Amino acid sequence: MIERLFVAGLSHRTAPIAVREQLVVDEDKLREILAGLVGRGTCAEVMILSTCNRIEVYGIAEVAGEARTAAFRQMAAQRGVDLSIIEPLLYAKDGAEAVQHAFRVASSLDSMVLGEPQILGQVKDAFALAQSSRTVGPVLHSLMSQAFAVAKRVRSDTEVGRHAVSVAFAAVELARKIFDGLEGRSVLLVGAGEMGELAARHLQDVGTLPLYVTNRTASRAQELARDLAGTAVPFADLFGVMGQVDIVITSTAASAPIVTTREVMAILPARRGRPLFFIDIAVPRNVEAAVNELDDVFVYDVDDLRSVVEANLRERQREAQRAETLVEREVEKFSERLRSLEVVPTIVSLREKLEEIRRAELARALARLPGANEATRQALEALSQGIVNKVLHAPTVKLRDSSKSGHGHRWIEVISELFGLGGKGRGAPRG
């Protein structure tokens, strides 16, 4: 069964975004592709994970290479892309390697940003889409259920996702440390830069309130304030508002500092020692370097934040080693469990076959004993059942032991042939 499991795809590690974006198709088209792969018998089970950083096909198939080609041919055809451009960029994994890959992807150990949490939700969405398309069977269901459990363990048992590795989020982490918590802290966003907006959104996520937005172009400040559920303020009121807030994020395109030491010194007396935290994400810097020397004022620029990010990345990589060990253990457990499942149909069929023979022979014996009382009938029933159980014991143990060692399919064939099970109970065909 595990031999038929495969994953094939391309990701940020193997293909540039110019190629990846050409394979992105909408949900309706994905449903068509999934249904077609199963409907034509190319795959017994299949799901497709499509994100900005990876497009992957997870499936159960007799011939994994044919299934992989068929899936990517259809995705490429939707966008008019030549399959020959894509094929050299594809990777493919089978069996236990495919299991390991699925666990690593769900646990964000294969992500561009190690430990990021979004990928787990994306895998769950892809699984839900395949389920609603009726292309998920017992193997993919088991695989994904276990992948979600492994991802949860990686999240709870290691700290691979607990260290900020984006400039915007690193700024939030620093602010949290300075203020010993951010709930109810007020924020002023100066400028409408993308990174500044992202930092503001992170701050909102941890409970900062209220948020003010100012920009030289008033309409842009109003638009961004609406998006962030904040309040737009005129650029001329910049320092008046700055005197009231706890955190200032600057991200303007100004060629020289717009926040000087003199202006900050002027607003400090009214603050009565209340800390003021600047997140200067602009290049060139918006805040004069000397502002950081003032009492109760903390300034972090892009370089400061990047040094935090780099330190946190190193910490995540150390934690990732622990996570990889956890994944390896879970892969072995899952592989053993999946291998044991492949012998179950043969065990069931063997028992049914012997039970059929037992009942027929018991009926013939009782027919020759028309005067047998109930005690005799029960004794013959127990005798025949005992013989069947003893005959079943050795092949059942052999099948289960062989599945653990990876030789289950060979013994499925031997026992099916020996007991005349035919096609019944042979388990999963080899891929």
- The tens digit of pLDDT for each residue in 123-164 reads 999 999 999 999 999 899 999 999 999 999 999 999 888 776
Q: Where are the beta strands (DSSP E) in 158-304?
A: 187-190, 211-214, 231-232, 247-250, 276-280, 297-301
Chain centre to alpha carbon of residue 118: 7
Query: What is the model's pTM?
Result: 0.63
Map out the domains of the chain with their CATH numbers: 2-163 (3.30.460.30), 167-304 (3.40.50.720), 340-418 (no CATH)
Distance CA 211, CA 412 (A): 67
How large is the average pLDDT for residues 353-361? 93
- The pLDDT tens digits for 366-424 are 999 988 999 999 999 999 999 999 999 998 888 878 877 767 778 888 888 888 886 54
Amino acid at residue number 140:
L
144 to 104, 116, 246, 431: CA distances (angstroms) = 12, 19, 44, 20
- Do 409 and 340 form a contact (C-beta atoms < 8 A)? no
Q: How much is the pLDDT for 406? A: 67
- Long-range contacts (CB closer than 8 Å, 24 or more residues apart) made by 112-119: 112/12, 112/53, 113/165, 113/166, 114/160, 114/165, 114/313, 114/316, 114/317, 114/320, 115/160, 115/161, 115/162, 115/163, 115/165, 115/316, 115/319, 115/320, 116/161, 116/165, 117/155, 117/161, 119/51
Question: What are 5's two structure tokens?
Answer: 């499991």
Active-site pick, 16, 27, 39, 52:
52
Report the 10 Å Cβ neighbour count for 369: 11
Distance CA 212, CA 116 (A): 29
Mean pLDDT over all residues of the chain? 90
Alpha-carbon Rg for the chain, nearest whole angstrom, is: 32
| Residue of 208, 213, 172 whose CA lies nearest to 189 | 213
Which one-letter DSSP state was computed for residue 259? Answer: B
- Do 282 and 191 form a contact (C-beta atoms < 8 A)? yes
Q: How much is the pLDDT for 164? A: 63
**DSSP β-ladder status, 54-60 and 187-190:** unpaired
- Do 61 and 4 form a contact (C-beta atoms < 8 A)? yes
Q: Is the dihedral of CA 320, 304, 275, 295 positive or negative?
A: positive
Q: How much is the pLDDT for 63? A: 94
Distance CA 55, CA 90 (A): 10
Tell me if residue 276 falls in helix, strand or coil: strand
The CA dihedral of 378, 381, 384, 388, to the nearest 10 degrees, is -130
Q: What angle do CA 13, 31, 24 make, to 5 degrees?
A: 30
Place of tokens 């005129």: 234
Query: Percent of the chain, pLDDT > 90?
Result: 64
**DSSP β-ladder status, 231-232 and 211-214:** parallel
Amino acid at residue number 66:
E
- The pLDDT tens digits for 216-259 are 999 999 999 999 999 999 999 999 999 999 999 999 989 999 99
- Do 251 and 192 form a contact (C-beta atoms < 8 A)? yes
**pLDDT tier at 431, thresholds 50, 70, 90:** very low
What 3 state SS string does 287-327 have?
ECHHHHHCCCEEEEEHHHHHHHHHHHHHHHHHHHHHHHHHH
- The pLDDT tens digits for 307-349 are 878 888 888 889 999 999 999 999 988 987 777 767 778 888 8
How large is the average pLDDT for residues 272-291? 94
**pLDDT tier at 428, thresholds 50, 70, 90:** very low
Examine the residue annotation and report whether 52 is marked as an active-site residue of this protein.
yes
Question: What are 98's two structure tokens?
Answer: 């495919």
Query: Percent of the chain, pLDDT > 70?
Result: 96
Chain centre to alpha carbon of residue 339: 24
Which one-letter DSSP state was computed for residue 285? Answer: -
Strand-pairing partners, residue 278, are 248, 299
What 3 state SS string does 90-147 have?
CEEEEHHHHHHHHHHHHCCCCCCCCCCCHHHHHHHHHHHHHHHCCCCCHHHHHHHHHH
How large is the average pLDDT for residues 286-295? 96
